[in-house]
Amino acid sequence: MSPADWTNPLRDPRDRRLPRIAGPCGMVLFGVTGDLSRKKVMPAIYDLANRGLLPPGFSLVGFARRDWANQDFAAIVHDSVKQYARTEFREEVWSQLAEGFRFVPGDFDDDIAFANLARTLDELDVVRGTGGNHAFYLAIPPGFFGMVVDQLKEHDMVDKSPNAWRRVVIEKPFGHDLQSAKELQATLSEAFPSESIFRIDHYLGKETVQNILAMRFANEMFEPLWNSNYVDHVQITMAEDIGIGGRAGYYDGIGAARDVIQNHLLQLLALVAMEEPISFDSRNLRAEKLKVLKTISLPRRLDLSTARGQYAEGWSGGVKVPGYLHEEAIKPRSTTETFAAVKLHIDNRRWAGVPFYLRAGKRLARRVTEVAIVFKPAPHQPFTAQATEELTHNALVIRVQPDEGTTLRFGAKVPGTALEIRDVNMDFAYGGSFVEASPEAYERLILDVLLGDPPLFPHHEEVEESWRILDPIIDYWERKGGRPEQYPSGGWGPGSATAMLERDGRLWRRP
């Protein structure tokens, strides 16, 4: 255990887990004024420092087109930490962290600014002992990735001595279709080797998502049932109650399928459906995810097996909210979908004939992300028809958020009746079973970048495979044209999504 850890008052001395602490390093953050930096990246860096997981000389360099000095940048980080950090604010942690803050003003096409950046990193290596190890976090629109990466290369910042590392971190969207994803990859790989490119899918940083691996592979009771002999279908839901907020610039023209199905939902599907990896190192884990993504096929009739919608006005949390087309900065005739549902097949022995239904939407009734494994009915039920009227399918529900945990739904006898059966739930809740609070996804992922630990970052091949699945659906919607079906804010999405499941004799869950 390192000294940083012994002295961390947040650490329980009985905790015997080996801490993972980053070695000497720093991070350069592009896009410091954006939401992602302010709401996620900066607070996560503070939380890591507060947990004693960053090296003492850690440095954070902000780069932006602002006329700021180091103190101005520090003030921005301070605000963000005060507002969004998960752990308590401690002055001594903050002041030690802030000593490593630097700011380099400039545009992405400004050579002088990048020369300054290079000099700043060299200086930090000397005064803060960052050892030449720096991660470049591109929290900027993807249209600028190429320009920034070229500048980093041009100014000799991507490749260092064999004893030092340079890594680049990018956030989705990784392209907007297969072709553009390949182009993006070509740009990045001109400057960075594959092992130095970290693609963030923040869902993989969530504890409940990683718990899918624990549940499936550390237990004996689930895996024997995890196949087409017992599973009727799988539903993966990512419902949000919020609308588009101030993100029109990013979202309009992108839509729900590209925004979250291409990445978060297909990654969830891959973890649920893949075979057991040889180990959880990146090579083996990614190989299994990739294998299952490659076996995914679409039903022939996309009209019957996909649905899209756009939220109309309605109610959210007791407040009247406008429809998508009336949100600020949305094109008045935008055809961007804010709800998407798709039915996918996995063509392998384990899952033959088991549909996977994925849906994601904004302005739905509540915020909930879950994976529901819905089982077939018992092959024979020695009860009267009335006795089982209120019995539905057994289900195992992995509650990703917000009420993190797992629910097992099964039938039980109703007390006092002769033998009536009704659904009951058995619950595991993170909050009730563990005393440690879950770290934020970004804490885990940023630490993994600094440690050079890649299993939780999707490989480029997974990204490509996901576009292969999605491109025909988006093409089909574009060819079909017209406006996506309107659905009232505060409901569960468009009628066409309900009809999609009803045709298969099934119902979406109402979590």
* Tokens 């490659």 belong to residue: 294
- Name the amino acid, one letter, at 220: E
DSSP calls for 248-302: HHHHTTTHHIIIIIIIIIHHHHHHHHSPPPSSSSHHHHHHHHHHHHHTEE--S-H
In angstroms, what is the minimal distance from the CB of 207 to ligand BG6? 12
The site string for ligand BG6 over 2-31 (x = CB under 6 A, - otherwise) reads ------------------------------
The site string for ligand BG6 over 236-275 (x = CB under 6 A, - otherwise) reads ----x------------------xx---------------
Residue count of the chain = 511
* Cβ distance to ligand BG6 smaller for residue 193 or 245: 245
**What single DSSP character describes residue 381?**
-
* Cβ distance to ligand BG6 smaller for residue 259 or 462: 259
In angstroms, what is the minimal distance from the CB of 265 to ligand BG6? 11
In angstroms, what is the minimal distance from the CB of 260 to ligand BG6? 5
Please report, as residue ranges, which positions from 107 to 166 form the binding site for ligand BG6 (by CB under 6 A): none
Residues 6+ apart with CB under 8 A from 360: 237, 238, 239, 240, 256, 257, 259, 260, 261, 264, 265, 339, 340, 341
* Cβ distance to ligand BG6 smaller for residue 404 or 420: 404
* Cβ distance to ligand BG6 smaller for residue 207 or 259: 259
DSSP calls for 292-342: HHHTEE--S-HHHHEEEEEEEEEEETTEEE--GGGSTT--TT----SEEEE
Cβ atoms < 10 Å from Cβ of 485: 17
Please report, as residue ranges, which positions from 452 to 491 form the binding site for ligand BG6 (by CB under 6 A): none
Please report, as residue ranges, which positions from 338 to 397 form the binding site for ligand BG6 (by CB under 6 A): 369
Let me know: does 75 contact 115? Beta carbons within 8 Å. no
Residue 424 falls in which region: left (phi positive, over 0), alpha (psi -120 to 50) or beta: beta
- In the bound state, the residue with its beta carbon closest to ligand BG6 is 259
**What single DSSP character describes residue 225?**
G
In angstroms, what is the minimal distance from the CB of 220 to ligand BG6? 31
Please report, as residue ranges, which positions from 155 to 214 form the binding site for ligand BG6 (by CB under 6 A): 202
Q: Which residues are catalytic?
A: 264
* Cβ distance to ligand BG6 smaller for residue 100 or 243: 243
* Cβ distance to ligand BG6 smaller for residue 165 or 442: 442
In angstroms, what is the minimal distance from the CB of 201 to ligand BG6? 8
CA distance linking residue 44 with residue 139, whole number of Å: 14
In angstroms, what is the minimal distance from the CB of 171 to ligand BG6? 8
Site for ligand BG6 (CB under 6 A): how many residues? 5
Residues 6+ apart with CB under 8 A from 180: none
Q: Which positions touch ligand BG6 (CB under 6 A)?
A: 202, 240, 259-260, 369
